[in-house]
């Protein structure tokens, strides 16, 4: 029996569960040098999800104001306090001139083997050609899938080969270390875009969410007539949104369109569509971005 992650009502626990169980954005059949899909077996996943669902509160609090750092903090918390692993995190490696040459996101020991994970949590929208990695662009248009992919596999994961990194590992008595890219996130497309020639590095089982422009608001889909919408702040983008039955500020589809026409956002904004479950909780059923008309030819908003 599969467990629905939306049954985890606590957001922090749900974010951790999503990071550990969501499919990688990378195609597991593609020849990536190093990649990690999911670190848990099916049985381990079920045990973890049920434990997180039982916990109405979490002992974890992150002070990070950047989504990527928050995601790293969640994985570090899981490894250190739930799995009780020996580990190092956020280790800056400098050369002889004290210049930074890279960072080990997470180093941890498991079954007498050391592992190094580079974490990425990304949100990319298809601009034009789905066969080009660089055409999958982030809300911050300076970021794209192609640029991140090249940086990750051609630079970041080669840090371990640098003499300074090897010296650090020797100081920690780490003789061997397996490296892996932990790459999670969401992909979005316009409703009139078809996906027929996806770049082979992208997981073909990826679900594509929607995005539209501020001058094409009628393209915002509605999956259920009783659903409601809400704008989601960046730090809550990771897992599907789940809100209490009496949550205020939810908008109908018509209300959302009127709100956006009256007060057009200056930058990309993420909205989720929510539908009530059998207990009356509002659970995400779809999500998408509303973009300014000048995206992606814009700075970071």
Closest CA relative to residue 215, chosen from 127, 156, 110, 294: 294
For residue 298, give Cα distances in angstroms to 36, 142, 235, 295: 33, 8, 22, 6
Q: How many domains does the chain have?
A: 1
Taken as a whole, the chain contains a residue count of 301
> What would the pLDDT profile of 119-145 be if each residue is shown by its tens digit?
999 999 999 999 999 999 999 999 999
Longest CA–CA span in the chain (Å) reads: 63
Give the pLDDT of residue 29: 86
Cβ atoms 13, 55 nearer than 8 A: yes
Inside any domain, residue 238:
yes
| Residue 300 is assigned to a structural domain of this protein | no
Domain membership of residue 187 (yes or no) is: yes
Neighbouring-strand partners of residue 211:
289
What are the beta bridge partners of residue 26?
202
* pLDDT tens sequence across 111-123: 888 999 999 999 9
- 297 is a domain residue: no
Strand partners, 286: 273
Cβ contacts of 262 within 8 Å, gap of 6 or more: none
pLDDT for the residue numbered 56: 65
Beta bridge partner(s), residue 36: 182
- Which whole number is the average pLDDT over 148-171? 94
What 3-state class would DSSP assign to 12? helix
More confident residue, 37 or 175: 175
* 77 is a domain residue: yes
Q: Is residue 280 part of a domain?
A: yes
Which residue in the block uniquely carries the two structure tokens 């995601």? Answer: 71
The tens digit of pLDDT for each residue in 37-70 reads 667 777 877 887 887 887 666 667 778 889 999 9
- Residue 271 above 60 pLDDT? yes
In this predicted structure, what is the pLDDT of residue 67? 96
The answer to whether residues 78 and 51 touch, using CB atoms and an 8 Å cutoff, is: no
Distance separating alpha carbons of residues 240 and 267, to the nearest angstrom:
22
pLDDT for the residue 276: 96
Closest to 292 in 3D by CA, of 232, 191, 212: 212
> pLDDT for 209-249, tens place per residue?
999 999 999 999 999 999 999 999 999 999 999 999 999 99
Q: What is the mean pLDDT of the chain?
A: 91
Q: State the pairing for strand pair 242-243/228-231.
A: unpaired
pLDDT at residue 301 tops 50:
no
Is residue 298 situated within a structural domain?
Answer: no
Provide the domain limits for residue 161.
5-291
pTM score, whole prediction: 0.92
Distance separating alpha carbons of residues 232 and 146, to the nearest angstrom = 26
């Amino acid at each position: 029996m599969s467990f629905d992650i939306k049954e985890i009502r606590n957001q922090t626990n749900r974010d951790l569960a999503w990071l550990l169980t969501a499919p990688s954005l990378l195609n597991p059949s593609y020849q990536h040098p190093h990649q990690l899909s999911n670190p848990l077996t099916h049985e381990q996943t079920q045990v973890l999800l049920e434990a997180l669902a039982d916990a109405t509160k979490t002992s974890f609090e992150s002070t990070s104001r950047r989504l990527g750092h928050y995601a790293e903090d969640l994985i570090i918390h899981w490894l250190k306090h739930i799995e009780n692993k020996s580990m190092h995190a956020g280790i800056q490696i400098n050369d002889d001139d004290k210049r930074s040459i890279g960072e080990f996101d997470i180093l941890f020991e498991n079954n007498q083997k050391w592992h190094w994970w580079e974490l990425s949590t990304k949100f990319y929208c298809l601009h034009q050609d789905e066969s080009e990695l660089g055409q999958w662009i982030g809300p911050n248009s300076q970021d794209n899938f192609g640029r991140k992919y090249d940086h990750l596999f051609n630079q970041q994961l080669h840090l371990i080969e640098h003499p300074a990194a090897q010296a650090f590992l020797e100081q920690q008595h780490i003789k061997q270390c397996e490296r892996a890219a932990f790459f999670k996130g969401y992909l979005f497309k316009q409703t009139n875009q078809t996906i027929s020639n996806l770049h082979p590095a992208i997981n073909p089982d990826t679900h594509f969410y929607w995005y539209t422009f501020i001058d094409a608001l009628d393209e915002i889909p509605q999956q259920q007539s009783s659903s409601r919408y809400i704008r989601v702040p960046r730090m809550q983008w990771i897992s599907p949104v789940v809100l209490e039955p009496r949550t205020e500020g939810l908008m109908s589809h018509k209300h959302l369109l009127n709100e956006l026409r009256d007060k057009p956002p200056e930058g990309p904004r993420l909205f989720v569509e929510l539908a009530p479950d059998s207990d009356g909780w509002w659970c995400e059923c779809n999500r998408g971005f509303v973009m300014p008309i000048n995206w992606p030819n814009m700075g970071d908003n």
